[in-house]
Structure 1
Amino acid sequence: MIIKIVFVVFLSLAGGLAVGAGFVAFLTVLGILPRLMQLSKTMKMIRSYEWAIVIGAVVGTYASLRDPVFILSPVLIMAMGLASGVFVGMLAAGLTEVLNVFPILAKRIGIEDRIEILMMAIVLGKIFGSLFHWIYFVN
């Protein structure tokens, strides 16, 4: 029994280290955060970004382990959803900027002169996919 517990603890720590290392590599090696701050012109708020990442990681870890239930007003939930969507969108924009995904994709599929249409197709696809998910799969 003790060997099973030690094995589970070891496996959990190894998984946490792997995910943590990937998260740190994502933020530092690719330069996502500096590019995001440069795009949004908020370089003076670097400490706020750092604390937001740390607090978000800790709260996210706690929430995934405990499955908390919050009773909030629908207006507050909509504001939180909007803020989360803006954050994910900005992070994705920073990632694509760093990796030059859109120009490479446009060149590969042969539509270099229509990058705006490609970007709008991706944005509208994300919007409609999210709406479909929320309308049909969320209680």
Structure 2
Amino acid sequence: MMTSIFTSLLEVMIGFAAGVAVGGGFVAFLTVLGIIPRLIQLSKTDELIPVYIASIILGSLFGIFMSFADVSWDQPVLLLVLWGAFHGVFNGMLAAALTEVLNVFPVLSKRIQMEDKLLWLLMAIVFGKIAGSLFQWTIFVK
């Protein structure tokens, strides 16, 4: 009995430490690269900073819940399309912001002589991510 309690407490401590390490890495990734502030700057939505903060916190908590909950996703296709669209927008914006911060696209657009089409290049990648997420959620998750 005492061994079982000790084992459970040890598992809780290891799980908590792992969560702190992963969470710290995620926050460092977003903070050091400045992805969220750059997204806010590009979208000109300074007044929505509390919404960004709440979205990140609630999204993280929902992701943690979904990792541990035994939830069935037997949902209508329309809901899966909406869910996939949200994933696509998030992944597309994150990829666009990351590459913007790292100056990947300006260098790429200069190399392929498409400097005046930089916005189109960014939007193609964003919509490609959206389409890929929709495909994944409607075909593979269904």
TM-score, reference length from structure 1:
0.74
1:113 counterpart SS class: coil
Give the deviation of 1:43 after TM superposition.
Answer: 1.7
1:69 counterpart SS class: coil
Match of 2:63 in 1: 60
Identical counterparts, % of pairs: 46
1:21 counterpart SS class: helix
Runs of 4+ in 1 over 4 A off after TM superposition: 114-117, 124-139
Q: 1:83 to 1:15 in 2, by over 3 A?
A: same
Match of 2:35 in 1: 32
Q: 1:84 to 1:14 in 2, by over 3 A?
A: same
Match of 2:13 in 1: 10
Structure 2: runs of 5 or more not aligned: none
The answer on 1:23 being equivalent to 2:26 is yes
Give the deviation of 1:18 after TM superposition.
Answer: 0.6
Give the deviation of 1:136 after TM superposition.
Answer: 7.1
Q: 1:35 to 1:79 in 2, by over 3 A?
A: same
Contact 1:103 1:112 in 2 (8 A): no
Q: 1:83 to 1:131 in 2, by over 3 A?
A: closer
Report the more deviating stretch, 56-65 or 5-14.
5-14
Q: 1:13 to 1:88 in 2, by over 3 A?
A: same
Structure 2 residue identity aligned to 1:60? G
Q: 1:56 to 1:18 in 2, by over 3 A?
A: same
Match of 1:90 in 2: 93
Give the deviation of 1:111 after TM superposition.
Answer: 3.0
Contact 1:35 1:94 in 2 (8 A): yes
> Relative contact order, CA 8 A, sep 6+: which one is greater?
2
Aligned length: 134
Structure 1 residues 69-101: Cα deviation after superposition (integer angstroms, max 9, x where no partner): 245332222122112211210111111111212
The answer on 1:73 being equivalent to 2:89 is no
The answer on 1:49 being equivalent to 2:52 is yes
Structure 2 residue identity aligned to 1:64? S
Report the more deviating stretch, 70-79 or 82-91.
70-79
Give the deviation of 1:102 after TM superposition.
Answer: 3.1
Q: CA RMSD in A?
A: 3.1
